[in-house]
A and B are shown apart, each in its own frame.
Chain A
Amino acid sequence: MIADRDVDALAAQYRAATPFPHVVIDDVVAPDTLAALCQAVAQEPHWPNRGEIYDFMGSAETVSHPVLRAFHATLGAPTTLDAVRAITGQPVARCDLRSYVYVAGSYLLPHADSRASIGRLVAYAYYLHTGGCEGGELELFDCTMDGDQLIAAKPAQRIVPRDNRIVMFDVSNASLHQVCEVLAGARVSLTGWFFGA
């Protein structure tokens, strides 16, 4: 998955990326695995999630389909965690995973995932299915900070969702990001965080 990549090269990309450390990795799993994951998400229950900054369909906090659970286990396996540690420089020790379906009109407004009390170190989004998807880009903001306080932010980078692509980025008060509104089609992803010990 990620463990068999050139982690040194990915680590260099991660550190050099702007506006904050991130990396994009394509062709993450074999095509038959991708097909199985897509089928599994189609069978996984999803519910409407609507709040101040979001409107999308989400799975339960723990996925139930065996194929999704196996993918979660692979992502949290020692070899994958070693690779994520090497790429990000963060002492990640475990990860969580949920499935999200964005249809036309779904969005996630600008926010930072940073919550020191729960130890999120690295965020990830693995795109499974983006066929016919218009919009749904991951947008990263360049933030001006005064200590931990956000003073100003401007859009800096848009990452297009693509089948079998994973994006990982540092979690901090300055890692402001959003998922742009999906205007047509659907964007299906497995998303979560890598946590410290």
Chain B
Amino acid sequence: MLPGLVGEDRAAPMREGADEVGFTPFYEPDRGRYGINRDLVVPELFDELRALVGSIVERELTLGPVQWLRFRHRDYSLTKTAREVAGPHVEVTVDFSARTTEQAEIVYTDGVESWIVPQLAGSVAIVEREPWLYRYERYLDHRIGDGAVYRARVVLL
């Protein structure tokens, strides 16, 4: 996890851009509830991530599916949520929220052990996603108020 990689000077326009394009409500009770956008394209961000993550995992990567996500009060995602890619890949989560909360943690689990990625505004989390590794994002309770957690989830192959 790389904290402080996306400054507010960059995150704020990202939020504005994402809000402007809009999020489609997703609600399948046994899978999740959140806002999602698959259409927003920010080539310079994707290129930077590909280069950065490629240097960390020491291999060439290509861009896969991208999801822009917004979580608000009562939102969550569960392990039953469909995978974007079936096989192994690198999953990068860019948190461009306005503030850090103690909610919406990303939990990766193999069914026995869990690895938790805290919600940290401006952070980038990089995870080698194997088929046995499931993911969920914790429910956001009333303490979030009118706030929101913004994430770009980028698959690199």
Nearest Cβ distance between residue A132 and chain B, in whole angstroms?
15
Is B139 interfacial (CB 8 A cutoff)? yes
A109 touching B76, Cβ below 8 Å = yes
Count, A-B residue pairs, CB within 8 A: 38
Measured CB to CB, the closest approach of chain A to B76, in angstroms, equals 6
B29:A110 contact, CB within 8 angstroms: yes
Stretch of A28-36, A89-97, A176-184 at the chain-chain interface:
A176-184
Name the residue of chain B whose CB is nearest to the CB of A152: B28
Taking the nearest CB of chain A, how far is it from the CB of B105, in angstroms?
A: 10
A181 touching B78 by the CB < 8 A rule? no
A contact residues around B141 at 8 Å (CB): 55, 105, 107, 181
**Given A105-B141, A105-B143, A181-B142, A176 and B74 touching (CB < 8 A)?**
no
Distance in angstroms between the alpha carbons of A178 and B141 in the assembled complex: 15
Instruction: Please give, as numbers and ranges, the residues of chain A lying within 8 Å of B79 by CB-CB distance.
Output: 52
Q: Which single member of A104, A105, A150 contacts B30 (CB below 8 Å)?
A: A150
In the complex, chain B residues 120-141 whose Cβ is within 8 Å of any chain A Cβ: 136, 139, 141
Is B30 in contact with A176, judged by CB distance below 8 angstroms? yes
Whole-angstrom distance from the CB of A80 to the nearest CB of chain B?
32
A107 touches B139 (CB 8 A): yes
B136 closest partner in A (C-beta): A52
Q: Does B107 contact A (CB under 8 A)?
A: yes
Best-surrounded residue of A110, A152, A176 (most CB of chain B within 10 A): A110
Please indicate the chain A residues that have their CB under 8 angstroms from the CB of B136 in the complex. Answer: 52
Taking a contact as CB atoms closer than 8 A, the residue among B78, B107, B143 that contacts A109 in the complex is: B78
| Chain B, 23-65, CB within 8 A of any chain A CB | 28-30
Q: Is the CB of A52 within 8 A of B142?
A: no
Tell me the complex Cα distance, A48–B143, Å: 18
Q: Is A111 an interface residue (CB 8 A)?
A: yes
A141:B142 contact, CB within 8 angstroms: no
B142 touches A111 (CB 8 A): no
Q: Please tell me if the beta carbons of B74 and A181 are within 8 angstroms of each other in the complex.
A: yes
Whether the Cβ atoms of B142 and A109 lie closer than 8 Å is no
A151 shortest CB reach to chain B, Å: 10
Task: State whether the Cβ of A53 lies closer than 8 Å to any Cβ in chain B.
Answer: yes
Instruction: Jot down 21 A-B pairs with beta carbons below 8 A, ordered by A.
Output: A52-B79, A52-B136, A53-B78, A104-B142, A105-B142, A107-B141, A109-B29, A109-B76, A109-B139, A110-B29, A110-B30, A111-B30, A112-B30, A141-B29, A153-B29, A154-B29, A155-B29, A176-B29, A178-B29, A181-B141, A181-B142
Beyond A109-B76, A153-B28, A153-B29, list 9 extra A-B contacts (CB 8 Å).
A105-B141, A105-B142, A109-B29, A109-B78, A110-B29, A110-B30, A152-B28, A176-B30, A181-B74
